[in-house]
Each structure stands twice: as structure tokens, then as C-alpha cells.
Amino acid sequence: MSLVSSKTVLGIAAAASLAAAAQAATEISGAGATFPYPVYAKWADAYKKETGVGLNYQSIGSGGGIKQIKAKTVTFGASDKPLEPAELKESGLVQFPMIIGGVVPVINVRGIQGGQITLDGAAIASIYLGEITKWNDPRIKKLNPTAALPATAIAPVYRSDGSGTNFLFTDYLSKSSAKFKESIGANASVQWPVGIGAKGNEGVANMTTQTDGAIGYVEYAYAKQNSMAYAKLINRGGKAVVPSAETFQAAAANADWTHAPGYYLILTDQPGAASWPITGASFILVYSNPPNAGETAQALKFFDWAYRNGGKMAAELDYVPLPDGLIKQIRATWKADIKGIPAMAAN
Amino acid sequence: MNSAVIEADSQHAAGQRLRESIFRGATLVAALLVLTLLGGVMLSLLKGSWPAFSHFKLQFLTREIWNPVTDQFGALAAVYGTVITSLIAMLIAIPVSFGIAIFLTELAPPWLKRPVGVAIELLAAVPSIIFGIWGLFVLAPLLQRHVQPWLIDLLGPLPLIGKLFQGPPFGIGVLTASVVLAIMVLPFISAVMRDVFETVPDVLKESGYGLGATTWEVIWKVVVPYTRTGIVGGIMLGLGRALGETMAVTFVIGNAHRISPSLLGPGTTISASIANEFTEAVGDLYTSSLIALGALLFLITFSVIAGARLLLLRLDRRALSSV
């Protein structure tokens, strides 16, 4: 595409967007991931009080969000699983991360309190492959030489509904175990060879607390608010880490965003001594050449406001805001890649 | 003067005819609407499931695999789970419902009839999600701690049926789902049965008693034969609900796409799979396979209803020939 024509398009689109903005649609429409829904809702509430512009976000799942933005029925889509750069290009979408969260392994082993057991990706993968079946298996003992591990059978619990939590967890296990990658793989839902499937975070949490010897995985906020017994994990740096806002943010900060086209980066198993290995970002999708530039501009204004003011609200809900460097990079992406939107104030 | 009355009368009649034809048209439209809707559902199910059926062919029905990562799908586990949970549920619900209905119509003291009747109707009004949550938080732990260990110890070592009761007591699984389903369909079946039992003319029953028949004999030889059609109808209503029930089952079945020999193990049903996976299903083949599951459920329900009709026809014919 020639420079001149793209500039002209930009100019016309900008003028159109100003006109559209003047009409001021009072609602931004979006659809997608359920995982970030609580924080988007909280932001939207505060934003509406401040500006009068509301957000209509349907938390129908990442798959649904991708389908809806492709059908152009919403202004933005939200997905826990980033689209690959090739797919972004093909469908003319721009993608950027919005918020960070983590997945935490939770256990129910008699005599073991939260944080008293350490696991690594390979051990968890073996458990979910049905290769480790007892809590006193030598492979778990090796990671916990001092813990009094019982001979209880392990009951693996998994999320039965397709979800970003599943994707992050299976992606982490696939990175940790070649066998898991080969026989199961990473996806929002996979075919588990063993264990029992429970619906939603609440189902997994309930099954885990009810079943002696169970292991499960839930979103961090859920584990924390219900003070569930979690397991520490050994990260890529070889250190045992505790799930917390700091370790999630470390994973996001240590990730190499500058060399990730379309922000296609899955935050599991990132380098750094303090990084929590099952961290993930939730993404937003908008059109690079939006069918209605005014609406997209309004959505971006909301996201910009959230980056600026939303950190504390996110932390209250146990989500983790993006690191500052990354936010700067995202603003640059908006400016370069999305046509017909007014520039956001720098800083 | 007379002619004026006649004219007014004929005007009145014409108005009535018009109203009648409008009403007839409206009912016809309503009836056709059902057919159109059904046709539309069938068409869109066929269209949506076509990619899956044409890709996997018959293998879609014969394979247990359900792997979204490699895009390999087979419906066997879901179909098996749907059929087995519904069958066990009916096994539990039919005798209990029959007992309830007989008690209410023939045996209960009058002061107890109303409260029990109202309680059953209320049970039918409980939303299925409530049954699911109750099953997960109350029934499953109860079964896990007190019933399943006992079943495993008692029945597990037996030959043949032992296989059905082996494995760890998870609390949730095929058996728990069946129990929840049984509780859910119970009010429907017993309400229909009670209503049809009440249609039996007193004179028939009294003739039975007059001939010296016991209550037992009157129930089996007068009430049941007289209400056969209604009983089968009630059972089919319950079975239809059990086959399609989604939310409650999803919570307590364990959601595993495999056929486990034990009833205590996890399984899945067609509607539970769709509810679990449709929102996050990415890719044409995956979505299409889920719709194909829906088409299969449609087919199963349809055959159940058709089977019930055939059964009733045969029963009627036999009843006629015996007369």
C-alpha cells in the first residue's frame, strides 16, 4: 500500500471519527473472555460515573468473543488465548494485553497445609497423565524431602468447561513435559486421560476440598478469596515461588514483549527467579481499520483510562495490572496500527 | 318488523362466521408455526453438523475419542452417557413415582393428599441449576462418604455386576447424575400418573371390590390396565426430560469423554458436552461436531417418542383383540 493513500485514508477516517465522536455513543460494546469479566465490570462502573460512557460487555467466553468481533457485531473482542500473528493479519485485527492473572494448583492432602508442598511442571504433568498416582511417589518426595507425604491416591480434578484457565494450565504442562504436549496438548478444553471434570472454578474448588488426595487448579483470585491450600511451583529459574501479585507481575515484566508481534506471548514458564510459571494475560481485539472508527476510539479511550486508573481496582480483585513499559508500548501500537482514532495523551 | 329481525340475525350470524374463520385461521397458523420451527431446527442442525458427519463419516458414532487439540471427535462416550444416565434414572424414578401416584389416589388419608400433591408440584418447579448445585454440594459428599464406599465393598467383588461398582468414590459420576436426574423427573411422572389414576371411574373400582378383589388386585387389574396409555405417556415425558437435561447433569457427572465400566466413574452426556464446550469451541470442525451431538440427541429423543407411540399402538390392538 502506498504511503500517500494510507495517509489520505487516515485523514478521512479521522474526520469521520470526530463526527462520530461528537454524536457520542454512550455505550461501548464488547464480548468475550469470562476470566477478566469482574475487573472489566468494575472499571466500567467507575468509568461510567466519571464520563457517562457505559460498557456493555457480554462475558460469553473467549471463543465467542473471537467469533463476535470477526462478525463485526461488537466493537472489541476479548480472549484469554492470543490469536497468532498470521490470523490477526488475515482478519485485520489488532491485539493487545489488558490484564494479568494467574492459575494456582490447589491440593487436599491430609496433614499438608497451603504452601507446604512444592511441585514442578513435570510432576503435575505426570499426575494428569496418570503416571503418578500416589502422593508419596518418589518424584514428589524428591521435591519435598521434609514433608510427611501420605500414601493417599491422587485424585486429579480438571475444569470441564472450555476456559482460559484450562488453556494456561495445559500450555504450562505442555511446556514442562514433552509427553503431555504430545498426547494431550494445550487448549481451552482437552481430552484428559484420567481424573474427574468439574464445572467452573467453583466446581473444581469444591471437588478438590471434598475429595481426600485431590489436586486441582483454579484462578488465583478464587484460590485466595477461599483461602485454598495451594502448592508452590518451581519456575524456569529453578526457584520455588508462591502465587502472588508480585510473582505474576514478575512473569509479565520478564517476558520479552518487544519481540512478540501482535503481542502473541503466552506468559507461562517465563524466565526470571521471581516469575510465577502459570501466568497469563487476557487480550483485547479491535479492527485495525475499524468499520466504525468513532466507536473503536471510544473503546480505546476506555482502555487508556483503565491502564491509567484501573490498577488499584484490579488489585482489589486480585488481578495484576500490566507493567508500565508494556503499557507504553501498547499506546505506540494503537497509534501505529489502528486507523482513524485520535491520539491518546502520552504518558 | 319481522324482516328487520331476520336481517339483524343474519348480520349477527355473518359476524360470527367471520370471527370463527379468523379464529380457525389463527389456530392453524399457531399449529403450522410449530411445524415450521421444528423443520427449521432440523434444517439448521443438519446444516451445522454436516461438516462433522462428512468428515468423520460413521466413525463419528463409533469412536470414543473427543480431542479438540487434534480435531478428532467421536460421539460414542456422550451418547452412552446420555442413554445410561437416563435409563438408571428411569429405573429409580418409575417405581417411586408409581408408588407416589397409587398412594395419593388410592391409599392416602384425605388430609395427606393435598400437602403431598402440592409438594410434588413444587418439586417440579425447582429450576435445574438448583438441582445441580444441590447435587454437587449436598448429595455428592453424602454419596461419597456414606453410600459409595459401601457399594464398592459390598457389590464391587461380585462377578458380572461387580465391575459397575468399582473404583475410587469420587462422589460425582454417572451414578450421582442418574440419582439427581431421577429426582428431577420424579414429579413429572408421578403428577401425570396421579392425574390419570384419578380418571378411573369409581364404578369400575367398586365393581372390583364388590367381586371381592383386594386393593392390590384392583390396582393391577383395574386401575393400571385402564390408564395404560397415560402411564406410558408420563414415563415418556420423564424420559424426554432426563435425556435432554443439561445443567444439573453437568455439575455432577464428572465430564469425562470416556466410557468407564464403573457407574461410579465420571462420564459425560450430549447436552453436558455442548454446555461445557460450545462457548470456547474454536474451529469449524469442533463447532460442527458439537452441533452434530445436538442432532444425535434430537434423533434419540425422536426415536424414544416414536417407540412409545408404537408400543401404545400395539397395546391398544392387543386390548381390542382380547375384548
The rounded Cα A119 to chain-centroid distance in angstroms is 22
Within chain A, what is the greatest distance between any pair of CA atoms? 72
Higher pLDDT, B268 or A339: B268
- Pair A107, A208: CB distance under 8 Å: yes
Q: What is the pLDDT of residue B99?
A: 93
Q: What is the mean pLDDT of residues B43-47?
A: 93
Q: List, for residues A123-174, the tens digit of each pLDDT value.
A: 999 999 999 999 999 999 999 998 889 998 899 999 988 888 899 999 999 9
Q: What is the pLDDT of residue B3?
A: 66
Instruction: Specify the amino acid at residue A105.
Output: P
Query: What is the C-alpha separation between B190 and A47, in angstroms, rounded?
Result: 54
User: For residue A163, which of B158, B230, B255, B143 has the smallest C-alpha distance?
Assistant: B255
Q: Name the residue with cell 468499520.
A: A291
User: For residue A198, which of B250, B314, B122 has the smallest C-alpha distance?
Assistant: B250
At residue A3, does pLDDT exceed 60? no
Q: What is the pLDDT of residue A2?
A: 43
Q: List, for residues B200-248, the tens digit of each pLDDT value.
A: 999 999 999 999 999 999 999 999 998 988 898 899 889 988 998 988 9
Of A2-11, A285-294, B195-204, the one with minimum mean pLDDT is A2-11
Residue of B nearest to A31 (CA): B279
Report CB contact under 8 Å: A196, B256. Answer: yes
Q: What is the pLDDT of residue A4?
A: 44
Q: List, for residues B259-303, the tens digit of each pLDDT value.
A: 888 888 899 999 999 988 887 787 789 999 999 999 999 999 999
Q: List, in sequence order, every residue forming a beta bridge with A199; answer none if it has no partner.
A: none
Band of pLDDT at residue A8, cut at 50, 70 and 90: very low
Q: Is A63 on the interface with B (CB under 8 A)?
A: yes
C-alpha cell at A305: 483510562
CA distances from residue A62 to A85, A162, A303 in whole angstroms, order as listed: 17, 9, 18
Higher pLDDT, B323 or A92: A92
- Write out the H or E segment, with its range, that includes residue B260: none
As a whole number of Å, the end-to-end CA separation of chain A is 31
Q: List, for residues B301-317, the tens digit of each pLDDT value.
A: 999 888 888 888 887 78
Of A178-187, B84-93, B140-149, the one with minimum mean pLDDT is B140-149
What single DSSP character describes residue B139?
Answer: I
CA dihedral B302, B308, B314, B316 (to 10 degrees): -130
Partners of residue B168 in chain A, C-beta under 8 Å: 153, 155
Axis-axis angle for helices A164-176, A121-129 (nearest 10):
110
Q: What is the mean pLDDT of residues B169-197?
A: 91
* Three-class HEC string of chain A: CCHHHHHHHHHHHHHHHHHHHHHCCCEEEEEECCCCHHHHHHHHHHHHHHHCCEEEEECCCHHHHHHHHHCCCCCEEEECCCCCHHHHHHHCEEEEEEEEEEEEEEEECCCCCCCCCEECHHHHHHHHHCCCCECCCHHHHHHCCCCCCCCCECEEEEECCCCHHHHHHHHHHHHHCHHHHHHCCCCCCCCCCCCEEECHHHHHHHHHHHCCCEEEEEEHHHHHHCCCCECEEECCCCCEECCCHHHHHHHHHHCCHHHCHHHCCCCECCCCCCCCCEEEEEEEEEECCCCCHHHHHHHHHHHHHHHHHCHHHHHHCCCECCCHHHHHHHHHHHHHHCCCCCCCCCC
The rounded Cα A293 to chain-centroid distance in angstroms is 27
Query: What is the C-alpha separation between A319 and B270, in angstroms, rounded?
Result: 35
Q: What is the pLDDT of residue A241?
A: 94
Q: List, for residues A315-336, the tens digit of each pLDDT value.
A: 888 888 988 888 999 999 998 8
Query: What is the C-alpha separation between A326 and A258, in angstroms, rounded?
Result: 9
Higher pLDDT, A1 or B6: B6
Q: What is the mean pLDDT of residues A5-25?
A: 46
Partners of residue A187 in chain B, C-beta under 8 Å: 68-69
Helices (runs of H) and strands (runs of E) counted in chain B: 15, 2
Q: What is the mean pLDDT of residues A188-214?
A: 88
The backbone torsions φ and ψ at residue B143, rounded to the nearest 5 degrees and listed phi first, read -65, -40
At residue A22, does pLDDT exceed 70? no
What single DSSP character describes residue B65?
Answer: -
Band of pLDDT at residue A229, cut at 50, 70 and 90: very high
Instruction: Specify the amino acid at residue B31.
Output: A
Instruction: Specify the amino acid at residue B320.
Output: L
Q: What is the mean pLDDT of residues A104-127?
A: 92
Band of pLDDT at residue B322, cut at 50, 70 and 90: low
Query: What is the C-alpha separation between A303 and A282, in angstroms, rounded?
Result: 13
Q: What is the pLDDT of residue A16?
A: 46
Higher pLDDT, B2 or A137: A137
Report CB contact under 8 Å: B279, A161. Answer: yes
Partners of residue A108 in chain B, C-beta under 8 Å: none
Q: Name the residue with cell 491509567.
A: A308
At residue B49, does pLDDT exceed 80? yes
At residue A15, does pLDDT exceed 70? no
Q: What is the pLDDT of residue A6?
A: 46
Band of pLDDT at residue A117, cut at 50, 70 and 90: very high
Q: Is B172 on the interface with A (CB under 8 A)?
A: yes
Q: CB within 8 A of B32, min separation 6: which ones?
A: none
Q: Is B284 on the interface with A (CB under 8 A)?
A: no
Band of pLDDT at residue A19, cut at 50, 70 and 90: very low
| Average pLDDT value for chain B | 89
User: For residue B246, which of B46, B82, B42 has the smallest C-alpha distance?
Assistant: B82
Band of pLDDT at residue A63, cut at 50, 70 and 90: confident
Q: What is the pLDDT of residue A285?
A: 95
Partners of residue A191 in chain B, C-beta under 8 Å: 65-69, 257
Residue of A nearest to B283 (CA): A63
Q: List, for residues B94-134, the tens digit of each pLDDT value.
A: 999 999 999 998 888 989 988 988 998 888 889 999 999 99
User: For residue B140, which of B168, B108, B169 has the smallest C-alpha distance?
Assistant: B169
Partners of residue B137 in chain A, C-beta under 8 Å: 206
Q: What is the mean pLDDT of residues B68-88?
A: 92
**Residue B202: count of CB within 10 angstroms of its CB:** 7
At residue A5, does pLDDT exceed 50? no
Q: Which of B66, B67, B136 sits opposite A206 (nearest CB)?
A: B136
Q: What is the mean pLDDT of residues A188-208?
A: 88
- Write out the H or E segment, with its range, that includes residue B66: strand B66-67
Query: What is the C-alpha separation between A259 and B139, in angstroms, rounded?
Result: 52
